[in-house]
Copies of this chain bind each other. A is one copy, B any other.
Amino acid sequence: MPDVFVTRQVHFSAAHRLYNPTLSDEENDRLFGLCNNPNGHGHNYVIEVTVVGSLDPLTGYVIDLKELKDLCEVEILSKVDHKHLNLDVPFLRDINPTAENLAVRFFEILEPHLQRPNARLHAVKVWETDRNHAEYRGDR
């Protein structure tokens, strides 16, 4: 069966602050500008999760996209939606919540759940706004 890439988009709204606690305030301001506002700012984030694999001959699916959506809901959205990413999310506690770091962390969280005989996680893309996004495809 040929390989096909299937993608599911999910959404969440969250606050965050770009800030490296090992640096001085001046250095944080220089590096992150407006994004370093101490009380935070926020976004409507979009996550696009892509799985690649061969088609299951029984279903014509690579993976049931409803299952992929539910996995995102349980593993990610329930923990980040309507939260402050720096303060409320255990799996983000030690990192600066840039779109890049979110894409890597979300990939690492989802990948173990997506190791199937016919399929595997291909990429996670994270939009902060309609104009900015980061994509991680694993360390291959």
Using CB atoms and an 8 Å cutoff, list the residues of chain A in contact with chain B. Answer: 2-11, 13-16, 18, 20, 23, 31-35, 37, 39-44, 55, 58-62, 64-66, 81-84, 87-88, 95-101, 103-104, 128-139
Q: Is the CB of A55 within 8 A of B104?
A: yes
Q: Is the CB of B59 within 8 A of A42?
A: no
How many Å lie between the Cα of A103 and that of B44 in the bound state?
A: 19
A31 cross-chain contacts in B, Cβ below 8 A: 58-59, 64
Provided the pairs A98-B60, A98-B61, A100-B6 are in contact, do residues A83 and B44 lie with their beta carbons within 8 angstroms?
Answer: no
Chain B min CB distance to A10 (Å): 8
A40 cross-chain contacts in B, Cβ below 8 A: 15, 39-40, 42, 84
